[in-house]
Structure 1
């Protein structure tokens, strides 16, 4: 079970799970945070180098050098492989706008499509969900190695996602942790 930055997952056998945060400034008190496309969970302004926790889970070994949404991983997936990214956007945008939905989404095959990848990858399929949990905002991005096999793959991805636990903002603060 990976557990770091208030994120953990009890992965089934055969999954690799990692919770990391890229080097950068610690999250600070909210001050006019704006989400940017290039660094989706970084703040603009005085805290421009702030990074937040990212949980990655995959059915194959993942390289250490990988992007928040699976660059350097997704293109390695075979037809039966799955990649999951849970990206923390912080407390400043939680419970509002894009992050208004509450609680971890439940995955279904109908939510996956080839056009939901950042760039087209032949045969693959993805889903993306924005939500808040415990005063923290997240994006859940899931890729299955074969759109044609999504009826079998998505339940496996859903089991992994159901095992993810998010520590709420208040508890994390009491424990001295940072998202």
Structure 2
């Protein structure tokens, strides 16, 4: 089970799960330096995949999704912070339940033949997130999406107040 920055997920057999934060300014430090919206702030990301993931990977699976075979699954849970939680795009509450009907080849950041993806924005415990899931074959999504859904249902998000009490930061 990976558990960092208030994010954790069970690691089923055959999966790799990692929680990380890219090098960059800490959220509080960036906010103190500048009120500019594009301040370099790095937030936690949970990645899970049914195949080994390279260390050099983007938040939404750059360098990973190109490697997926037809039976593989990739999940990214990207933390957008507390500032936008519970409003607008992030108004919906709680982790979504994945269903095959939510996946489509046109939901990828760039077209990759055969792959299918879904993207959900939501808040949990005063924190805003994007859940991005890719299956290695749109044609096999009926079998792959339940595996992704099982992994997503094991994700636990520590709420903002508890994380602050524990001395952590999202």
Note whether the superposition's TM-score is higher than 0.5: yes
Q: State the match for 2:26 in structure 1.
A: 26
Aligned to 2:122, the other structure's residue is in SS state strand
TM-score w.r.t. length of structure 1 = 0.91
Q: Structure 2 CA distance, aligned partners of 1:12 and 1:19?
A: 15
Given the superposition, is the C-alpha separation of residues 44 and 67 from structure 1 closer, same or farther in structure 2, using an over 3 Å criterion? farther
2:62 partner SS: coil
Runs of 4+ in 1 over 2 A off after TM superposition: none
> Secondary structure of 1:28's partner?
helix
Give the count of matched residue pairs: 168
Deviation track 1:48-78 (CA, whole Å, cap 9, x = no partner) reads 1111000000000000000000000000000
Mark the runs of 5 or more structure 2 residues left unpaired by the alignment: none
CA gap of 1:140–1:46, structure 2 versus 1, over 3 A, is closer
- 1:164 and 1:76, CA in 2 relative to 1: closer, same or farther beyond 3 A? same
> 1:29, 1:128 → 2: CA distance?
30
**Are the aligned partners of 1:25 and 1:47 in contact in 2 as well (CA < 8 Å)?**
no
Q: In structure 2, what is the equivalent of residue 113 of structure 1?
A: 104
The CA distance in 1 between the partners of 2:46 and 2:77, in whole Å, is 5
Aligned match of 1:98: 89
Q: Does the aligned pair in 1 maintain the 2:30–2:39 contact within 8 Å?
A: no
TM-score of the two chains, using structure 2 as the length reference: 0.95
1:71-126, Cα deviation, whole Å (9 max, x unpaired): 00000000000000000000000000000000000000000000000011000000
Does 2:143 match 1:142? Answer: no
Distance 1:44 1:70 in 2: 29
For 1:105 and 1:95, locate their aligned partners in 2 and report how far apart those are by CA, in whole Å: 15
What is the match of residue 79 of structure 2?
88
Query: 1:105-160 CA distances to partner (integer Å, 9 max, x unpaired)?
Result: 00000000000000110000000000000000000000000000000000000000
